[in-house]
């Protein structure tokens, strides 16, 4: 990679890429066809990741993990992006906000999560509250020493396999000059808690097998021991992971784009029309040139934003730019790759139509393209006092 990686960083990227090619690719067709990840395959991927020493590699050495920095973890996610999300979910990257666990939460949630003994998921989105997080209606009300929770969350990825969920819930509101402002608290909620139900969500055309679930709370009682961080401190906790998920979307988009590009490049070098390889026609070769230029640009932008985090520099705008550009780049690259393949690009014989479908959601989840543009422009204007 032209970024100038160290030998160790190159080894990390090469190791994960090899893992994806040998342990993820062989199962992709099955998952795409059935929409399910067999339990034995999930366990096999998890165990091999543990054996490799990469499980929970986004966590520090202080809890027995690899302690990769932001650039190194971005490289891991980039290579995982080449494979099925439903399968690489079991490569295991617990939510890093579990580092906010205190007291007995450490032994109940943090340590089992990083050891691969318990899986987590994160829940914020609701039917009426997507980009508008403060619009959430799922609420918790004090009743003695407990919180009584009612409401619904949806689009919750990974909840089908999760042993517990990190849920953001409204716990009151403040009156401000701009009107009521919700107070948000993060809770740790175990599967099987009375009043808490996890059920199947919507059938998506993107990332088959990587299911979204619906969470329902019906007078679900949670003690204070289940609060992650401070009561009403959900936004503070939230800010410790939101940047990480945006970088993940960006890096995975780059990895998937590189795989798609390889298909297009090889096809252009082999397919013949009018007595020559189609790659010799400018209509094709110029598309290849544009594709690789955009991929490299997204890669550099993403790694540079991760590098700023490693250096302790502000990176909110840079991360938003990386997520925006990389996710939209993936849509353009997958579309161009199909154009290079012609009609065959839309056939099930090639995986391109899958990548094309999968690419569409990257511009929506973990902050839409419009939200990223808002973050970027806000940061620019604030610097000028506007």
Structural domain includes residue 104: no
Structural domain includes residue 102: no
Specify the CATH number for the domain of residue 30.
Answer: 1.10.540.10
Structural domain includes residue 103: no
Please report, rounded to a whole number, the percentage of residues in the chain having pLDDT higher than 90.
88
Specify the CATH number for the domain of residue 364.
Answer: 1.20.140.10
Indicate whether 156 and 75 sit together in one domain: no
| Per-residue pLDDT tens over the stretch 164-195 | 999 999 999 888 777 778 899 999 999 999 99
| Per-residue pLDDT tens over the stretch 76-128 | 999 999 999 999 999 999 999 999 999 999 999 999 999 999 999 999 999 98
Q: What is the mean pLDDT of the chain?
A: 94
Q: Which two tokens stand for residue 69?
A: 């920095």
Residue that finishes a domain, picked among 80, 95, 110: 95
Contact 118, 158 (CB under 8 A): no
Indicate whether 219 and 251 sit together in one domain: no
Specify the CATH number for the domain of residue 154.
Answer: 2.40.110.10
Residue 1 has a pLDDT of 46
Q: Is 385 left (phi over 0), alpha (psi -120 to 50) or beta?
A: left
Query: Beta-strand (E) ranges in the chain?
Result: 120-123, 139-143, 146-157, 164-176, 179-190, 196-200, 212-223, 227-228, 272-273, 276-277
| Per-residue pLDDT tens over the stretch 39-51 | 999 999 999 999 9
Indicate whether 71 and 194 sit together in one domain: no
| Per-residue pLDDT tens over the stretch 127-139 | 988 777 778 999 9
Structural domain includes residue 212: yes
Domain with 60 in it: 7-95
Indicate whether 73 and 146 sit together in one domain: no
pTM over 0.75, yes/no: yes
Indicate whether 189 and 81 sit together in one domain: no
| Per-residue pLDDT tens over the stretch 139-157 | 999 998 899 999 999 999 9
Structural domain includes residue 335: yes
Contact 110, 98 (CB under 8 A): yes
Nearest to 238 by CA among 105, 123, 363, 364: 123
**Total structural domains in the chain?**
3
Residue 3 has a pLDDT of 66
Parallel, antiparallel, or unpaired for β 146-157 and 139-143? antiparallel
Structural domain includes residue 183: yes
CA atoms within 13 A on the CB side of 24: 21
């Amino acid at each position: 990679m032209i970024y100038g990686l160290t030998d160790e960083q190159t080894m990390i990227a090469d190791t994960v890429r090899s893992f994806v090619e040998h342990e993820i690719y062989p199962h992709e067709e099955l998952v795409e066809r059935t929409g399910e990840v067999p339990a034995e395959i999930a366990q096999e991927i998890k165990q091999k990741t543990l054996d490799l020493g990469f499980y929970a590699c986004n966590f520090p050495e202080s809890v027995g993990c690899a302690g990769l920095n932001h650039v190194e973890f971005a490289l891991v996610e980039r290579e995982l992006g080449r494979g099925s999300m439903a399968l690489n979910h079991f490569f295991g990257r617990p939510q890093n906000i579990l580092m906010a666990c205190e007291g007995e939460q450490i032994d109940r949630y943090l340590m089992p999560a990083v050891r691969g003994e318990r899986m987590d998921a994160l829940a914020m989105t609701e039917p009426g509250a997507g980009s508008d997080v403060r619009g959430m209606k799922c609420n918790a009300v004090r009743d003695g020493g407990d919180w009584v929770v009612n409401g619904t969350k949806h689009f919750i990825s990974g909840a089908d396999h999760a042993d517990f969920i990190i849920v953001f819930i409204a716990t009151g509101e403040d009156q401000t000059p701009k009107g009521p402002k919700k107070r948000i608290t993060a809770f740790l909620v175990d599967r099987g808690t009375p009043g808490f139900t996890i059920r199947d969500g919507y059938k998506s055309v993107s990332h088959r097998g990587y299911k979204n679930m619906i969470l329902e709370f019906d007078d679900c009682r949670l003690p204070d021991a289940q609060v992650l961080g401070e009561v009403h401190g959900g936004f503070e906790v939230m800010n410790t992971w939101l940047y990480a998920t945006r970088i993940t979307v960006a890096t995975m988009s780059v990895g998937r784009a590189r795989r798609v590009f390889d298909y297009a490049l090889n096809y252009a070098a082999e397919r013949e029309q009018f007595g020559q390889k189609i790659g010799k026609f400018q209509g094709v070769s110029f598309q290849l040139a544009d594709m690789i230029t955009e991929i490299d640009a997204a890669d550099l932008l993403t790694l540079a934003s991760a590098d700023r985090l490693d250096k302790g520099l502000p990176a909110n705008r840079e991360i938003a730019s990386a997520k925006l550009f990389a996710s939209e780049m993936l849509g353009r690259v997958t579309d161009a790759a199909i154009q290079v393949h012609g009609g065959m690009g839309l056939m099930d014989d090639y995986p391109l139509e899958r990548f094309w479908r999968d690419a569409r959601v990257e511009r929506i989840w973990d902050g839409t393209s419009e939200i990223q543009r808002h973050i970027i422009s806000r940061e620019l204007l604030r610097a000028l006092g506007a």
